């Protein structure tokens, strides 16, 4: 296989992944966020806090590749709904993690029921072996993506 064919194949795979990442947003919005009366941004933060535990705003922004201001707004909205709260961090005043409140945990549990419905739809065309293989490939891809380091001088363009 020549270099050009290999590069195009990698680009095609990346574009396919980007399409899937974009398309998953509709079932997540329609099947989980909207019924739970959350924005997609709030949903993503609830999922992160429910799965990872306490995280500071800047950690959420980095983990989810989101603008810090958008994370801050979503956290403020979730706090206003009594779904998240700032938690004590053993005297570390620099890191202020957010955690789910009791109401937040209840909401998270309801979200998981809806996530089950969405996941059954999304993976309905896969048999058990294909799902197992996909899980392994996604884990491998995630481990690779975690290694990506943005150059320190990078400034992200923030447009409407």
Segment 28-33 long-range contacts (CB within 8 Å, at least 24 positions apart) = 28/118, 31/114, 31/117, 31/118, 31/121, 32/111, 32/114, 32/115, 32/118
Indicate whether 103 pLDDT > 60: yes
Indicate whether 34 pLDDT > 60: yes
Q: Which residue has 């363009």 as its token pair?
A: 157
Assess if residue 60 is contained within a domain.
yes
How much of the chain exceeds pLDDT 70, in percent? 87
Q: Which two tokens stand for residue 84?
A: 């998240």
Residue 71 structural domain? 7-146
Structure confidence at residue 63 (pLDDT): 85
Measured CA distances, 63 to 2, 44, 89 (Å): 36, 11, 19
Domain holding 125: CATH number? 1.10.10.10
Distance CA 76, CA 85 (A): 9
Q: Residue 128, exposed/middle/buried by CB under 10 A (0-12, 13-18, 19+)?
A: exposed
Considering its fold, how many domains does the chain have in total? 1
Structure confidence at residue 20 (pLDDT): 94
Assess if residue 59 is contained within a domain.
yes
CB half-sphere exposure, 24, CA atoms < 13 A: 12
Q: Residue 58: pLDDT band by 50, 70, 90 thresholds?
A: confident
Assess if residue 155 is contained within a domain.
no
Assess if residue 77 is contained within a domain.
yes
pTM to 2 decimals? 0.80
Indicate whether 4 pLDDT > 60: no
Assess if residue 45 is contained within a domain.
yes
Assess if residue 123 is contained within a domain.
yes
Assess if residue 157 is contained within a domain.
no
């Amino acid at each position: 296989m020549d270099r050009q064919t290999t590069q195009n194949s990698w680009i095609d795979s990346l574009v396919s992944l980007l399409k899937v990442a974009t398309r998953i947003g509709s079932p997540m919005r329609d099947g989980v966020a909207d019924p739970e009366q959350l924005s997609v941004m709030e949903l993503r933060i609830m999922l992160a806090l429910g799965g990872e535990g306490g995280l500071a705003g800047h950690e959420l922004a980095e983990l989810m590749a989101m603008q810090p201001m958008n994370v801050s707004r979503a956290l403020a909205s979730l706090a206003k709904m009594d779904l998240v709260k700032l938690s004590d961090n053993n005297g570390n005043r620099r890191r202020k993690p957010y955690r789910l409140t009791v109401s937040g945990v209840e909401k998270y549990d309801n979200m998981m029921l809806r996530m089950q419905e969405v996941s059954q739809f999304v993976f309905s065309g896969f048999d058990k072996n294909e799902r197992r293989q996909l899980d392994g490939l996604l884990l491998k891809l995630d481990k690779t993506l975690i290694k990506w380091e943005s150059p320190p001088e990078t400034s992200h363009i923030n447009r409407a």
